[in-house]
Amino acid sequence: MNILFTNIKELIQVREVSIDFLSGKEMNVLPTIKNAFLLVENGLIADFGTMENCPKTKFKIIDAKGKMVLPSWCDSHTHLVYADNRENEFEDRINGLSYKEIADNGGGILNSAKKLQAVSEEVLYDKSKTRLEEIMHLGTGAVEIKSGYGLTKKAELKMLRVIKKLSDNYPIEIKATFLGAHAVPNKYINDKSGYVKMLIDQVLPAIQKENLADFIDVFCETDYFSVSDTDQILKAGFKQGLVGKIHVNQFTTIGGVQVGVKNNVLSVDHLEEMRNEDIEALIGTKTMPVSLPNCSYFLNIPYTPARKMIDLGLPMALASDYNPGSSPSGNMNFVVASACIKMQMTTKEAINAATINGAYAMNLHNKVGSITRGKLANLILTKKINSYNYIPYSFGNSCIEKVFLKGNEII
């Protein structure tokens, strides 16, 4: 689709030259052009500048007077393929049960796995596509989706095939992650190493054969998978050509950040519990810290100490963690608002974290995450707003008028 956006009040996140990611003080710089045009040709960003230099074309014109344009959100951590919600656990939580107590009572990840194993691939696809469409309308233009509610070879492959089908059928950019090491299924309750061996010897090669995953993930956490399990699974994934992205420091600090950094993973995600040594381990590395404020909000657990980490020079990405247990929302607008309201990130930092840094955490920074010539025209057109600060300020309200993916309006 070819479009000329004219009279854009402010074109946000303009990068003349493609960058990998932003860290420390750079995160508080958000380049924009006021009174701008943006030319979209064949689904790509072809040109932009101030209105004085606006070209004459026969393209469809969208007059964006009073409105802003920014790159669509890049959500680098979700589990949006799942069979059913877990509202019953929500009631339990309101009644005072913790995440661990709910899991111990037959809820949690194993509950989702039981439900997922029971549904067909077609039903799982239909349920998941509704969630994908929902986040597209909320402005997400690139998303990572994990397996990990299958926990058998058959069900893990079912999940990954659904992710592949979503990717084939929708214009949103999708990356797939194998998270077989999400919880130990009951069958292996006294034989965790047998489960890890099954994942490595049987599931990973099958995934590779069908080319179903980009990344390998592990829930590195007390009562789930240890540092040495994580190390073993990551290395097995690397042998199959997968890149590492891991869950660490959600509830306890057991050395997850360190094992991630040692293995040069692309991102370490969650980071609600961070000791100084965990923060220091990330300095000077290319591993992106990913914060998931929706999870902190929903589970009432600490937020990632993002202010401290950015002040120490680190980068930060923001993602939704959309899943039925700890974040039943994929709304990146709320994520950005929460980062500002609860984590003392500035609007500029939060927008950078939810666009270019999120793109990096999916290895998609050359395709999305900024207004750069040649990148996909995955865009948010806002309603009439006074400043981009209004986006997080008006938390819970939508500032989005339209979303475009590859230059096509999402209806």
Q: Is 128 among the residues that bind ligand NIG (CB under 6 A)?
A: no
Nearest residue to 43 via CA among 367, 396, 383, 388:
367
Q: How wide is the angle at C-alpha 295 spanned by C-alphas 290 and 300, nearest 5°?
A: 130
269: how many CB neighbours lie within 10 A of its CB? 28
Among Fe ion, ligand NIG, none, partner that 289 touches (CB below 5 to 8 angstroms by kind): none
In the bound state with Fe ion, the residue whose beta carbon lies nearer, of 45 and 218, is 218
Q: In angstroms, rounded to a whole number, what is the distance separating the alpha carbons of residues 62 and 381?
A: 10
| Nearer to Fe ion (CB atom), residue 64 or residue 317 | 317
Helices 347-354 & 332-343 angle (0-180, nearest 10): 140
**C-beta of 147 vs 355, nearer to Fe ion:** 147
- Using rule CB under 6 A, residue 109 touches ligand NIG: yes
Question: Can residue 321 be called a binding residue for ligand NIG (CB under 6 A)?
Answer: yes
d(Cα 76, Cα 327) in Å, to the nearest integer? 14
Report d(CA 403, CA 368) in Å as an integer: 14
Q: How far is the CB of 225 from ligand NIG (least distance, A)?
A: 10
Among 9, 161, 175, 247, binds ligand NIG (CB under 6 A): 247
Candidates 23, 226, 230, 323: give the one binding ligand NIG (CB under 6 A).
Answer: 323
Determine which residue in the list 11, 72, 73, 108 makes contact with ligand NIG, applying CB under 6 A.
Answer: 108
Among 177, 326, 352, 370, binds ligand NIG (CB under 6 A): 326
Q: How many residues bind ligand NIG (CB under 6 A)?
A: 13
Instruction: Please list the residues that pair with 323 across neighbouring strands.
Output: 327
With respect to Fe ion, which residue has the nearer C-beta, 245 or 367? 245
Binding site for Fe ion (CB under 5 A): 321
Helices (DSSP H) in 186-328: which residue ranges? 192-198, 204-210, 227-239, 256-262, 276-282, 293-299, 306-311
Minimal CB distance residue for Fe ion:
321
- Residue 350, φ and ψ in degrees, nearest 5: -70, -40
Q: Tell how strand 67-71 and strand 3-12 pair up.
A: parallel
Q: How many residues does the chain have?
A: 411
178, 219, 225, 297: which one contacts ligand NIG (CB under 6 A)?
219
Q: Which is nearer to ligand NIG, 108 or 369 (CB)?
A: 108
Closest distance of CB 295 from ligand NIG, Å: 5
Distance CA(68)–CA(63), nearest Å, equals 11
Asked if 227 and 189 count as a contact pair (C-beta separation under 8 A), the reply is no
Nearest approach in angstroms of CB 321 to Fe ion is 5
> How many other C-beta atoms are found inside a 10 Å radius of the C-beta of residue 96?
7
Pairing of strands 60-63, 44-50: unpaired
Distance of closest approach, residue 328 Cβ to Fe ion, in angstroms? 12
Of positions 324, 358, 392, 407, contacts ligand NIG by CB under 6 A: 324
Sign for the CA dihedral angle at 209, 211, 216, 218 comes to negative
Tell which positions 260-319 bind ligand NIG, by CB under 6 A: 295
Shortest distance, CB of residue 112 to ligand NIG, whole angstroms? 5
- Of 9 and 77, the one with the shorter C-beta distance to ligand NIG is 77
The one of ligand NIG, Fe ion, none whose footprint includes residue 108, by CB under 5 to 8 A per kind, is ligand NIG
Instruction: Note the maximum CA span of the chain.
Output: 70
Tell me whether residue 67 or residue 131 sits nearer to ligand NIG (CB atom): 131
- Report, in this order, helix, strand and coil percent for the chain, each rounded to 5: 40, 25, 35
**Binding residues vs ligand NIG (CB under 6 A):** 79, 108-109, 112, 219, 247, 250, 295, 321, 323-326
